[in-house]
Amino acid sequence: MERLETDPPLTPSSLLYVRMDEGDDGSEKEEEYRNVNHDSSTESTHLEKEDLSILQAVVFIEDAAKYRDIRHKIDRKALQIYRIYHCKPIEVFRTVVICVLHLLAFIEFPSSLTWTSDIRFRGDRITLPCGITEGIELVCLLLLLADVCTKIYLIGKVEMMRKKWLVAALVILAFSLVDWMVTIGLSCTETKRFRRIVRPFFLISNSNLMKKTVKCVQRTLPEVASVLLLLALHLYVFTLLGMLLFPTPRDTSRPSNNSMEYFLIQNNSNSTTMSPISNITQQPVVQEGNTYFRTISNAFMNLLVLLTTANNPDVMMPAYQHNRFYALYFIIFLLIGNYCFMNMFLAVIYNQFRGYFQTSMQASLLRRRVGVRAAYEVLKDRDLYTHVASSPASGVAIETVKLVLEDVTLPKKVKMAISQDLNTRQMNQTDSLQNLQFQECFDLIVKESFTRHKPEVRWLSNPILRRIQRVIAHRGYNYFGNVVALLNVIMISVELATQYDKSLNSSKSALNIVNFAFILYYLFEQTFKLTALGWKRYVYERWNIFDGITTIFLVILEIFSVAKYGLPLSKAGEVHDQLTLWNAVRIINILIMVRLFRIIPHIKAMSIVANTLVDLIKNLKAFGGILVVIYYSFAILGIEIFHDVIKYQETNSTGADSLVYDCGSYQQLEYWANNFDDFAAAIVVLWDVMVVNNWSIFLAAYAKALSQWSYTYFIVWWLVSVIIVLQLFTALIIENFIMKWDRSSRNQEHEDLANNSFTESLHYMSLHEMFRENLEEPSESVILQEIKEHKFLSLSISQS
């Protein structure tokens, strides 16, 4: 636009603002305010500010989607680094680095690179030269240090001091690097590498859900400790009572300070095997005292093992054989200890799990609301700055929101849903979004499953064919198919029970004839269903896909069998005892039994249980990670304590001084492969102890090989793994099942759930979705206060 000579001269303080309104006659009205020194650099600054606002809003929305804290630097460079830091490839790379660091335990000294862990046949280990594993470890530690330093740069030093996990990561990295330098300085000759015990910290710190789980366990400990104290009192009282009920005559010829030698000699063994002082035993009740209640520590440990039922009923047999009323002592002990206190542990942990996770998810909801509101405020200021909005009350333009949506990293379905919502609002003559509308729009981030629209069946015009379609589309058709599948499995069971060899080794057996007939039915059943429903309606039901794929494999295998061995109905050319035939028959029968799973969605309780198991597997990232952490730490600690303490001595059954092991002992049961001589073997031992069956054997073996204090290690492992972590798994299962059952019951009140119970109402639930219904919406004042406390963000916020 050209400047007229009649226009007043421009002064340095004068502004030029251009506004063009097209009137009815097509004339243009112009108002101009422009700075005299306005040039291309100023325009570039405006564009940069606009782009920065969009970038800030994009990052805040991404933070909200991932429940992240928005208190980080928001300048352009920091935001670009922040998005790279949180992008999927970097997250995967970070996880790979942590996994590599942990997997070093298998090849570090003592390496697990042997064919067996049995100390009798293990042979020499493959030992890598000094510097190889140490070099890999150094690279991983430096990468993790760079990761921590990047995080500190992004949030600032002040915010870093509030992050306890970040400070702890720096301390552990410093400790690990110092310990690494000690190893290199001693040319890898030192075997005690304490830095390996703290490695799992990096696994926990890499997952927000795992950190929540650790905090949940931490908050549970005081209540668990109170129940544990009662349990210890229960054990101690029954220990003293047992020593009084089952008196032990003392052998004055033996020193009394060697009493722990007799701990658990009789566990898992024949009750007639006697201890060294059994020759003075006159009564079975005294034998009970000799074997299981010789000393306080001996009695306490035996009752602790009995609490896990690992030595039941062995521990009570000597006394019970003498008098049946002695069984009451052990029954009362187990009723109180195992059925009361153990279930009380579950109640306490479940209560704390639900309470803490609900509080934690409430905080996560607040972070999400703060992220969305911060994005709204940034975009509102941008629209005011660029004159898209005339006043703060105008909100955020939908076109501005679309600019954000183009750059934000969200699941494709979420972005499509938000885009459709924005388009719908524009069609309804809405050009801008207020705060609540903006929040409603981005609440679609919360949706972890979107409603799948059921395609309509295309009904045929012919009345007869349409009637057939209705029969096939009716749920009764599926129920009949389930009955047929169940009948098929029953007939397989009968044939295998009565004619096992002939059923698997003959091509013309009755089992093959029955399966041939059933597979023909399955083929026609699926063909009719696909034809009647149409492809889209057929694949809409996921269980139809499962059923169809299973049927295809069955048909292919049956065609192969018929082509090779002929029709099973004909007796001509009968084939026996061929490996190919044997394998084909087995696979066909396995697939038929697998196909029986199709009944799951049609039984409400079964479908909920199955879906709960699926959810548990998907939610194992956090809880399974905690299990990995405790296994890793205790395995490394076990190696440091018990490495090479178990020694193998060959028995000589012919010599006068032959070595004979006690019945039921570690040596007699040949548990030589269960040891702490390397990391892989230690993992297996910890698993065996966690299962608690025969764990008394390990307690006795390592106590005898090293010290009585070794009991402490195994008891602590039992408490942490069985009493706390596994109970946490149980709490997750209970909560998930209750939520799904309640949701299913509510849905059943409004619709006929039988049509699609499994796919519609029982979708996958994450931990956030499990607790969402019980969360309270954060107040606007709390949200605004969080934004105002942001050190790097300055906005003029008005409540709306």
Q: Tell me: the pLDDT tens digits for 496-531?
A: 888 877 777 777 788 888 888 888 998 998 898 888
pLDDT of residue 755: 44
Q: Which of 41-45, 620-624, 718-722 has the weakest average pLDDT?
A: 41-45
CA distances in angstroms from 65 to 70, 107, 372, 411, listed in the order given = 11, 39, 9, 10
- How confident is the model over 200-227, as a mean pLDDT? 86
Most confident by average pLDDT, 294-303, 600-609, 791-800? 294-303
- How confident is the model over 16-27, as a mean pLDDT? 37
Task: Give the helix ranges, DSSP H, for 161-309.
Answer: 164-185, 200-205, 208-245, 284-292, 296-307
- How confident is the model over 350-369, as a mean pLDDT? 82
How is residue 294 annotated by DSSP? Answer: S
d(CA 151, CA 160) in angstroms, rounded, equals: 9
- At position 101, the amino acid (one-letter code) is L
Matching residue, tokens 């998005």? 83
- How confident is the model over 459-486, as a mean pLDDT? 86
**What are the CB-based long-range contacts (under 8 Å, 24+) for 400-407?**
400/54, 401/433, 401/438, 401/441, 403/54, 404/54, 404/57, 404/58, 404/61, 404/375, 404/379, 407/54, 407/55, 407/58
Apex 445 CA angle, 443 and 451, nearest 5: 90
Q: Is pLDDT of 656 > 90? A: no
Which residues are paired to 506 by β-bridges?
Answer: 576
DSSP E strand boundaries for 186-334: none
pLDDT of residue 392: 67
How is residue 778 annotated by DSSP? Answer: P
- What are the pLDDT digits (tens) for 659-702? 677 777 888 888 999 999 999 999 999 999 999 888 989 998 99
- What are the pLDDT digits (tens) for 232-256? 999 999 999 988 888 765 554 444 4
- How confident is the model over 656-660, as a mean pLDDT? 58
d(CA 180, CA 104) in angstroms, rounded, equals: 14
d(CA 645, CA 117) in angstroms, rounded, equals: 14
Mean pLDDT rounded to a whole number for the chain: 79
Q: Is pLDDT of 67 > 60? A: yes
pLDDT of residue 795: 67
pLDDT of residue 637: 94
The burial of 415, by beta-carbon neighbours within 10 Å (0-12 exposed, 13-18 middle, 19 or more buried), is given as: middle
Task: Give the helix ranges, DSSP H, for 386-462.
Answer: 398-407, 412-427, 435-442
Q: Is pLDDT of 175 > 80? A: yes
- What are the pLDDT digits (tens) for 77-124? 999 999 999 999 999 999 999 999 999 999 998 889 899 998 888 888
Please answer whether residues 625 and 203 qualify as being in contact, where contact means their C-beta atoms are separated by less than 8 angstroms. Answer: yes
Q: Identify the residue with better confidence: 415 or 44.
A: 415
Please answer whether residues 141 and 178 qualify as being in contact, where contact means their C-beta atoms are separated by less than 8 angstroms. Answer: no
Q: What percent of the chain has pLDDT over 70?
A: 78
Q: Residue 219: CB partners within 8 Å, gap ≥ 6?
A: 352, 356
CA distances in angstroms from 340 to 220, 234, 307, 343, 345, listed in the order given = 18, 11, 11, 5, 9
> Considering only CA atoms, which of 437, 525, 443 is closest in space to residue 481?
525
pLDDT of residue 497: 86
Q: Map residue 571 onto helix, strand or coil.
A: coil
Could you tell me the pTM of the whole model?
0.77
DSSP E strand boundaries for 38-132: none
d(CA 667, CA 434) in angstroms, rounded, equals: 76
> Considering only CA atoms, which of 551, 532, 561, 539 is closest in space to residue 462?
532
pLDDT of residue 262: 44
Find the radius of gyration of the CA atoms of the chain: 36
Q: Is pLDDT of 39 > 60? A: no
> Taking the CB of residue 729, how many other CB atoms lie within 10 A of it?
17
- How confident is the model over 713-720, as a mean pLDDT? 94
- How confident is the model over 267-282, as a mean pLDDT? 41
> Taking the CB of residue 560, how many other CB atoms lie within 10 A of it?
13
pLDDT band for position 305 (cuts 50, 70, 90): very high
Please answer whether residues 62 and 86 qualify as being in contact, where contact means their C-beta atoms are separated by less than 8 angstroms. Answer: yes
Tell me the residue length of the chain. 800
pLDDT band for position 334 (cuts 50, 70, 90): very high
Residue 110 preceded by cis peptide, ω within 30: yes
Q: What percent of the chain has pLDDT over 90?
A: 24
692: left (phi over 0), alpha (psi -120 to 50) or beta: left
Rounded to whole angstroms, the maximal C-alpha distance in the chain is 131
d(CA 565, CA 39) in angstroms, rounded, equals: 89
> Considering only CA atoms, which of 394, 215, 211 is closest in space to residue 800?
394
Q: Is pLDDT of 763 > 60? A: no
Q: Is pLDDT of 386 > 60? A: yes
